[in-house]
Amino acid sequence: MSELASAAMSQRTDTGRVRRPTRGPGSLLEIAVGEFLTRGYDATSMEDLSRAAGITKSSFYHHFSGKEALLRAALERAVDGLFGILDDEGARVGTALQRLHHIVRGQVAVLVAELPYVTVLLRVRGNTESERWALERRREFDAHVAALVREAVEAGELRKGVEPALAARLLSGMVNSVVEWARPDRDPDALPDAVARAAFEGILPAADPAEG
């Protein structure tokens, strides 16, 4: 059973009906995100969501105005986590390469901590207002990373000729791929460093000067 499924584990009522525990907007959002990931956002109805939560649609509407509001809340949680990294001291102080390293580590940490929400963020295609907002915010984040790559190249900290926008996309793609294979049983504290090492040090052994 997944970590998300465990958090929304079913409970049986006196009538035998399966009902999930709902303790307010946070629990409902968690359940909704699980349904979005399982069914796809477009294919998920409010009826599906209320059934998954074990409450009536009117009770669901008491907390969220509709499916779009749930999607927006999920996307904001993921986006806020990513932009929170840029406020860290490690992202603001030090060389460009040091700051870039901190941001990549932070991205992985946020992804692991908020895996379902970041997965929803990475699946949006711009079909709704909330999705278009999320895509714009992702572009802003990528632009910040690209600027840091450019600064690191100009400072001689990265190889000359590296195209900043391309490098930013490659770094982003490498980090985002973690959603496809990250598992709760992996050490979440070790993963950010492991991914950052692969990104900045590569996977080939360092050349032995004696072999030259």
Assigned domain for 1 exists? no
Residue 121 contacts residue 138 (beta carbons within 8 Å): yes
Whether 6 maps to a domain, the answer reads no
**Amino acid at residue number 206:** A
d(CA 150, CA 133): 26
**Residue 17: predicted pLDDT:** 32
Query: How many other C-beta atoms can be found within 10 angstroms of the C-beta atom of residue 73?
Result: 19
pLDDT in tens, 98-130: 999 999 999 999 999 999 999 999 999 999 999
Among 64, 87, 118, where does a domain finish?
64
Res. 136: pLDDT tops 80 = yes
Residues 7-24 have a mean pLDDT of: 38
Domain assignment present for 89: yes
- Residue 127 lies inside a defined structural domain of this protein: yes
The reply to whether 83 and 179 lie within a common domain is: yes
pLDDT at 15 over 80: no
What's the number of CA atoms in the CB half-sphere (13 Å) around residue 143?
A: 6
Whether residue 209 lies inside any domain: the answer is no
Q: Which CATH number is 54's domain given?
A: 1.10.10.60
Per-residue model confidence (pLDDT) at position 25: 75
The whole-angstrom separation of Cα 34 and Cα 17 is 20
Average pLDDT, the chain: 84
Q: For residue 21, is pLDDT > 50?
A: no
Instruction: Decide which of 47, 64, 81 is a domain's last residue.
Output: 64
Find the CATH number of the domain harbouring 147: 1.10.357.10
Task: Give the list of residues 6+ apart from residue 35 with CB closer than 8 angstroms, or none.
Answer: 44, 48, 49, 52
Residue ranges making up the domain that contains 185: 72-201
Number of H helices, E strands in the chain: 12, 2
User: What was the pLDDT predicted at 2?
Assistant: 34
Q: What is the pTM of this model?
A: 0.81
pLDDT higher than threshold 70 for residue 75: yes
Q: Are residues 90 and 190 in the same domain?
A: yes
Contact 81, 114 (CB under 8 A): yes
CA angle at residue 30 from 38 to 7, to 5 degrees? 95
The pLDDT confidence band at residue 16, using thresholds 50, 70 and 90, is very low
Is 8 part of any domain?
A: no
End-to-end, the C-alpha distance of the chain in Å comes to 53
Reported confidence tier of residue 208, pLDDT bands at 50, 70, 90:
low
Region 178-205: mean pLDDT is 83
Residues 106 and 31 in one domain: no
One domain for residues 135 and 46: no
Question: At 180, which amino acid appears?
Answer: E
Is the same domain home to 188 and 163? yes
- Alpha-helix residue ranges (DSSP H) falling in 114-188: 115-123, 129-154, 164-176, 178-181
The answer as to whether 54 is a domain residue is yes
Q: Is 118 exposed, middle or buried (0-12, 13-18, 19+ CB in 10 A)?
A: buried
User: Are residues 89 and 45 located together in one domain of the fold?
Assistant: no
* Cα distance between residue 179 and residue 175, in whole Å: 8
**Does residue 106 share a domain with residue 45?**
no
Domain count, the chain: 2
Whole-number Cα distances in Å, 68 to 33, 52, 55, 122, 167? 12, 17, 19, 16, 33
Residues 88 and 182 placed together within one structural domain of the fold: yes
